[in-house]
Structure 1
């Protein structure tokens, strides 16, 4: 008996610490409970049969309401209640996200002699994105193995690794560390940071387009 519900984002992630309130037909509060770390709500409180309104709120999300009908079992099962982030942009849950090299790439393009473009990539890299509950406090850190540069031409790649260019013997890593994050549109963000390469540090801003998140086939 009591209140049962699951609170999720549209992508299926649990909304932790969401407040779930159950009111009767007069609008009086009957039960109030918080979702756990898995977005599950369970409150064992005796309920009289009849219709109830389930109201779900969470910081940063638009409130949602659902109807639950209690039968003789005394259980109000609201099922899955979906909360959308205020402003319509659903962000990843706070926490540390590691860059997946199998589904990521670091590509390069450079002008050659002023009239052609040389394209390449770095095969070895890693990094992490730390999503904060306050998105503007999020951080990005990345490390690239300078010697892994690959333009599809062995002679050119050896020259790029030499002291004439990347000088990988003295500067084996290219790093990027963010210093600030700001939202520039409904699904667009700007990351300010410092890029260190060949012993030189430059301020570099990255324009990001957020595509969304969701559980993989293994959960």
Structure 2
């Protein structure tokens, strides 16, 4: 007896917070049940044979309706009900995601001599993303970067960047970022609000974040990919060093563009592959 159903997103993820309501031909509610963490609904309420309407709702998703026929056994098997996320793009399932350093890049770009760019990256970092259930705006991200892991492909330049003129790694070995909020900026884009601690100075920094996709990987895990960018002013973090050329052009630009290409694995551990 009762009702069974599975609630999924378009990408096949379970919607564990969904609420299923069953109404009869007159529109009266005869059953209300909540999906379990796997998106499954199993309710043993005795139902009279006949036609019913199933309405499925979940925070952050558009409502969906389906028809259900209760047989003489008093059972209705609805099957899979698919919910579309409000805003269009499906999100990865909620929970902890751990950034995979082997398949991620934390980079920065600076203007050089006013005519070209110098690119660098940090090779030592760790980060986690906690995707909130229901209200994605409550999601959080934390990252710790080893300041001395800067690599621009030039040893002399890297040594200078590690000095007190720039990163001052002896006094401030870690760069940290902690998000404080998230607002939608499009169907698959968000603005991450957070605080960056660099050289012992904490400043608010927003990231422009784009969701690239998610799915299973060859090692039995589930992955999600993001790309994020931000602009930093060096003077905000007391990096005032510069060399002015004869033409009045600064050797190094006053701003840095941060570029993040991130893969994260569902859970607390990353496979060693």
Look up the match of 1:110: 110
Query: Cα RMSD between the aligned structures?
Result: 2.5
Q: How do residues 59-74 of structure 1 correspond to structure 2 at under 5 angstroms? A: 59-74=59-74
TM-score (structure 2 length as normaliser): 0.70
Answer whether contact 2:87 2:186 (CA < 8 A) is retained: no
Deviation at 1:40, TM superposition (A): 0.8
Answer whether contact 2:57 2:63 (CA < 8 A) is retained: yes
Matched, 1:2 2:5: no
Structure 1: stretches of 5+ with no match in the other structure: none
Look up the match of 1:194: 195
Cα offsets for 1:69-116 (capped at 9, x unmatched): 334444311111111223334344443332222332101112223322
The 3 A distance-change label for structure 1 pair 70 and 215 is farther
Matched, 1:160 2:197: no
Deviation at 1:66, TM superposition (A): 1.4
SS in 2 for 1:160: helix
When structure 1 is superposed on structure 2, of 100-109 and 71-80 the one drifting more is: 71-80
For the residues of structure 1 that align with 2:173 and 2:151, how far apart are their CA atoms?
A: 15
The 3 A distance-change label for structure 1 pair 16 and 164 is same
Q: How do residues 41-52 of structure 1 correspond to structure 2 at under 5 angstroms? A: 41-52=41-52
Answer whether contact 2:139 2:182 (CA < 8 A) is retained: yes
Answer whether contact 1:13 1:215 (CA < 8 A) is retained: no
Answer whether contact 2:59 2:135 (CA < 8 A) is retained: no
When structure 1 is superposed on structure 2, of 186-195 and 138-147 the one drifting more is: 186-195
Look up the match of 1:130: 130
Structure 2: stretches of 5+ with no match in the other structure: 223-273
SS in 2 for 1:211: strand
For the residues of structure 2 that align with 1:203 and 1:75, how far apart are their CA atoms?
A: 55
The 3 A distance-change label for structure 1 pair 148 and 17 is same
Answer whether contact 1:12 1:214 (CA < 8 A) is retained: no
For the residues of structure 2 that align with 1:57 and 1:15, how far apart are their CA atoms?
A: 10
Answer whether contact 1:13 1:214 (CA < 8 A) is retained: no
Q: Hey, which bits of structure 1, 4+ residues long, moved more than 6 A?
A: none
For the residues of structure 2 that align with 1:30 and 1:192, how far apart are their CA atoms?
A: 44
Q: Larger RCO: Structure 1 or Structure 2 (Cα < 8 Å, ≥ 6 residues apart)?
A: 2
For the residues of structure 2 that align with 1:196 and 1:45, how far apart are their CA atoms?
A: 55
Count of paired positions: 219
Look up the match of 1:147: 148
When structure 1 is superposed on structure 2, of 6-15 and 46-55 the one drifting more is: 46-55
SS in 1 for 2:212: coil
